Structure 1
Amino acid sequence: MFFSIFFPLAAILLTASLVALARRILQLPGRHLPLPPGPRARWFGTVKLPKEYQWLTYARWKDVYGDLIYVRVLGNPILVLNTAEAVTDLFEKRSARYSSRPTRSMVTELMGWDWLFSTMPYGPTWRKHRACFQQHFNVNALGGFKPIILREAHTLLHNLIMDDSALFHHVRRSAAAIVMMLSYGHQIAPEGDLYVTIADKALAGLAQAGIFGTYLVDYLSCLKYIPAWFPGAAFQRQAFEWRHMNRMMRDLPFEKVKREMTAGKAVPCFVTEQLDRLFTAASKAASEPALEGEDLVKNVAAIAYAAGADTTVSAILSFFLAVQVWPEVQTKAQRQIDAVVGPDRLPSFDDREDLPAIDCIVWECLRWNPVTPLGLARHVGEDDEYRGYRIPKGTTIVPNVWAILHDEKMYPEPLRFNPDRFADEEQNAALGINDLPNAAFGFGRRMCPGRALAFETIWITIVTTLAVFNISKAKDEHGNIIEPDIQFTPTLLSHPRPFCCVIALRSEKARSLVMQTLDR
């Protein structure tokens, strides 16, 4: 009796479900449109993606499939955008649909980077964090930041005079020192710092796991429930270790500033400014400052380090690598610096308008090897149509920043480091080539809000370095020139791989000028 009733009922329910699903599909906009082209799927409808240097593979696929490449991996639809036109059309002209982020099980849920507003979905929480950041780190505040930036540029010069073999350490320390002072009022020692070490370890984990799909759990979010002791769950144990580091990165320097404020010893900075506002608002309301407000300040302070340090480090190291291979860039820039600044002082921010060659070098450093070659993925929350193709709801959109900034039509000889490509703006505009590489900072509503600070930091570092040093290729023990290997790391945050070079003082006068800065 039970079976005679159950099976007909199940058949009716199944038929009704299929009819409802069919109606829903028929009502979808663009239901008749094809998906964008892409490589043929293999097993279970999945495309095998490269594990390293994905941006290079996607750039090669552009010649086969075009600037829109659609793939599915374990049921997850992914659309790669290989041109500035496609990115502009979707991320800027349709920003209301394309400004959110996909859920990243490994990075946000397991590793704990949910406080990083560059990974947050578009919405009120993201807006609060971005607004808080922009209150302090905006273009109008740059004037107050420049003395700190200049001081650390001079410290870098001094450190390179003392030991030019530790270039990578000195550059990273300099970038970290600027952000730590602006965010926490904390002066780090020349040899390094506990807080910087913790942050670097946390960011190294983010760089390794940050590209969407690096870990299987990004595609199969149910795997996040597998316990760490389970066979094959090494990603859980790794995520736990990285989570610990990123929480320390966020919490420890913030708590230090709070203790210093209580003792009346805090140096004015982002955290003190924001906490003073919270306490003032709380006293007027006769209540304690909201924990949510403190968490917001804590998050944004750490975000400033995470966002600022790696961009500047990558661009500055790219500069040291590139001028070895293209020494004419160094010669031309030094000629301009010598003519404008002279031999009796070091360059300053006041010289910028008279040193256009340095602007061009900075832009080329950002273009030649963008620190985020794949940008940060977006998420489309509703079905859409573009160029006659259907983009399904839930698709992860990946901007191939490397391909955009190495488009031969826009940037002739894209692999060559050539700052002169940006020198003649009128001619470039007439020919439709060599746009400034703003893509290095993101797109639309999610463009990096700290880009002006990053540019100024890179600019003063490069101009003071060129004023003081000659950079050239190293030699081995037999006097043979060591040709630098132009290689970059295959991670979300991409840097030049270790290389050697000679960093020699241009004159004893240059040494004296650097040493004088230590007495100020």
Structure 2
Amino acid sequence: MVLAAFQQPGLLTIVAAAVLAIVTVGVLARRARRPSTPPGPKSSWLGFGQPTVPATYPWYTYEEWQRLYGDIVYYRAFGNSVVIVNSAKVADDLLEKRGAIYSSRPARTMLRELMGWNWSFAGMLYSSSWRKYRSTFQRHFNSRATARYEPLQLKEVQTFLHNLYRAPENLYYHTRRNAAALVMKISYDHDIAEEGDHFVNLADRAMSRTIQAAIHGAYVVDYLPILRYIPSWFPGATFKRDAIEWRQDSMAMLQEPFNMVKRRMASGSAGPCVTTLELESTNREQEIDVPMIQGSSLTHDFKTVSAIMSFFVAMMNNPEIQRKAQAEIDRVVRGDRLPTFEDRSHLPFITCIVWECLRWNPVAPLGVPHASVQDDVYEGYWFPKGTTIVPNIWRYPDSFTFNPERFADEKKNAELEINELPKIAFGFGRRVCPGRWLALDTIWITIASVLAVYNVSKPKDTNGVVIEQPVEFTGVSISRPKPFKCAITPRSGEALALIRKV
């Protein structure tokens, strides 16, 4: 009887309409009770497009949005929620104090799945695997563990000083080699070649392609993952063809140095390093985790390279700051030795220069995006589960001026709530860079050592006229100075003698 009633078209239509009405009213009621999302630019295509954000220097657009909408800017990109954070306080509240909610990463289909970077725990989703990898990495690179690497850092910085004297025109390669040599020796007991090292070239090639892909919003497939199933020959599927090619370098960066250590262990020629320590302490089933943990270390030295290259640009354009720093060093080392880590407490201005290099040109101006694992309400605004959080961390008062003294009086800065140390250059909360202690040590000893023995100045042409160059930085996910020239000359005969001791 009941079945017969529902077979009548009129009654079935009425029931279906009633159910639809109840569901619609329920959804609308929940939305009415729910707080609104933050203000921001509107999407196109009824919410399935995205506002126009340039592929380079997107932080300038975000700063303009901050003036229009405030410190919290919300928009939808192909149906995905995105929040731009233009305030250190908001970033701290969300990414530090509410780390349990905002410590995951967006699902970056292009990088993680197509390009093969799913092994890098920096981009992993918040999970037990991520916690395991990070814990292992921290065991070797925490603030106490890095002290045992200081002799190696001193050795490599001396090689760096010698290479600058031998071929100052190759500044970038020497800087890149210095950072890579430290990481490769610690992780794999590999001695980097003076020129054309295979692993340096491999890492550079892999990272140069990753830098572009890492820009938030660079690839539509990150918002519409179903596009990953488009065949590479399909018109418009350039991203698939690129990913196939780029994936080869990503996987080689993961496996080649690891396999090199395994071969040496098999032949009895392996020296002590983090990889051998991990392999000797794990069983066969856990061995697969080791290359993922150590391979991630190769991606961290780009922060070091960017900061040191920024230092050379800053010194070339600020000779008075350079002279003040050199005077501080001379009072401590008296010109007859190079600085050591024991001198750190006596060289506060050098430490200020380190922080200013990280602030003036933050390696990742937009940090690494976070993602929420549940709905949240902040300052009366609703953030849906899965919202991507992009911290726009580059903004500081008088941000374009290189001024290390802004960090000289920490107590006064704290009282005025200004000039906080740019520790956010290494990330936020539970996703802070675990290699930051090694990076800070390397940047500090490199800057102190260079200033102890070299003058850095603007280059001159064949007629002795100073060559002026604009101060420009790349506008992608990892920012570093655009190619430049500078003059690097020994400060004195005594300084040259220290350089030649290597």
User: Normalising TM by the smaller chain, what interval?
Assistant: over 0.9
Q: Residue 351 of structure 1 aligns with which residue?
A: 343
Corresponding letter in the other structure for 2:139: Q
2:374 corresponds to = 382
CA distance in 1, matches of 2:497, 2:9: 93
Q: What is the match of residue 19 of structure 1?
A: 22
* C-alpha separation in 2, matches of 1:270 and 1:111: 26
Note the C-alpha offset of 1:434. 1.4
Q: Does 1:468 align with 2:453?
A: yes
C-alpha distance after superposition, 1:424-444 (max 9, x if no partner): 222222222211111101111
Task: Kindly state the Cα deviation for residue 138 of structure 1 after the two structures are TM-superposed.
Answer: 1.3
CA distance in 1, matches of 2:374, 2:165: 56
**Given that residues 106 and 125 in structure 2 are in contact (C-alpha distance below 8 angstroms), is that contact kept between their aligned partners in structure 1?**
yes
Are the equivalent residues in 2 in contact too, given 1:383–1:391 (CA < 8 A)? yes
Task: Pick closer, same or farther for the CA change 1:255–1:4 going to 2, 3 Å.
Answer: same
TM-score, normalised relative to structure 1: 0.92
- Does structure 1 residue 84 correspond to structure 2 residue 88? yes
- 5 Å-filtered alignment, 1:358-373, equals 358-373=350-365
SS at match of 2:281: helix
The amino acid that maps onto 1:16 is V
Do the aligned partners of 2:77 and 2:223 also contact (CA within 8 Å) in 1? yes
Which of 298, 301, 309 aligns to 1:305? It is: 298
SS in 2 for 1:139: coil
**Contact 1:35 1:70 survives alignment (8 Å):** yes
**More off after superposition, 40-49 vs 131-140:** 40-49
With over 3 angstroms needed to count, the CA separation of the structure-2 counterparts of 1:64 and 1:273, relative to structure 1, is same
Separation in 1 of the partners of 2:37 and 2:77?
15
**1:493, distance to aligned residue in structure 2 (A):** 1.3
Q: Which letter maps to 1:482? A: I
Q: Which residue of 1 aligns with 2:247?
A: 243
Q: How many residues align?
A: 496
Per the alignment, residue 322 of structure 2 pairs with: 330
Q: 2:151 aligns with which of 147, 152, 165?
A: 147
Which residue of structure 1 aligns with residue 229 of structure 2?
Answer: 225
Amino acid in the other structure paired with 1:216? V
Aligned equivalents of 2:210, 2:370: Cα separation in 1: 17
Match of 1:193 among 184, 191, 197: 197
Between the aligned partners of 2:9 and 2:363, the Cα distance in structure 1 is 60
Change in 2 beyond 3 A, CA 1:142/1:43: same
> Quick check: 1:325–1:484 contact (8 Å CA) kept in 2?
no
- Distance (whole Å) between structure 2 residues aligned to residue 496 and residue 244 of structure 1: 28
Gaps of 5+ in 2: none
Where 1:97 maps in the other structure, the secondary structure is helix
Q: Letter of the aligned partner of 1:33 in structure 2?
A: P
Contact map agreement 2:184 2:191 (CA 8 A) in 1:
yes
Distance 1:9 1:295 in 2: 58
CA distance in structure 2 between the aligned counterparts of 1:7 and 1:111, rounded to whole angstroms: 55
> 2:488 is matched with which residue: 503, 508, 520?
503
Are the structure 2 counterparts of residues 421 and 17 from structure 1 closer, same or farther at C-alpha, using a change threshold of 3 Å?
Answer: same
CA distance in 1, matches of 2:9, 2:475: 56
The Cα of 1:479 is off from its aligned counterpart by 2.9
1:42/1:48 contact within 8 Å kept: no
Which residue of structure 2 lines up, in the alignment, with residue 414 of structure 1?
399
Question: What does residue 259 of structure 2 align with?
Answer: 255
Q: Secondary structure at the match of 1:401?
A: coil
**How does the TM-score come out when normalised to structure 2?**
0.95
Partner in structure 2 of residue 285 of structure 1? none
- Specify the alignment match of 1:286 in structure 2: none
Matched residue SS, 1:102: coil
Structure 1 gap ranges (5+): 283-288
Q: Tell me by how many angstroms 1:506 deviates.
A: 0.7
- Identify the match of residue 275 of structure 2 among 271, 275, 278: 271
Match of 2:462 among 471, 477, 481: 477
Aligned identity (percent) is: 48
Q: CA deviation at 1:14?
A: 7.0
- Matching residue of 1:36: 38
Deviates more, 1:45-54 or 1:295-304: 45-54
User: How far does residue 44 in structure 1 lie from its aligned partner after superposition?
Assistant: 3.0
Q: Which amino acid aligns with 1:453?
A: L
Structure 1 residue matching 2:82: 3-state secondary structure: strand
Q: Distance in 1 between matches of 2:10 and 2:227?
A: 34
**How do 1:103-118 and structure 2 match up within 5 A?**
103-118=107-122
Amino acid at match of 1:121: L
Counterpart secondary structure, 2:99: coil
1:363 and 1:436 in contact (8 A); partners too: yes
Counterparts in 2 of 1:36 and 1:515: CA distance versus 1, 3 Å: same
Against the structure 1 CA distance between its residues 18 and 155, is the aligned structure 2 distance closer, same or farther, given a 3 Å change threshold?
farther
AA matched with 1:359: T
Residue in 1 that maps onto 2:408: 423
- Correspondences of 1:446-457 after superposition (within 5 Å): 446-457=431-442
Q: CA deviation at 1:384?
A: 1.4
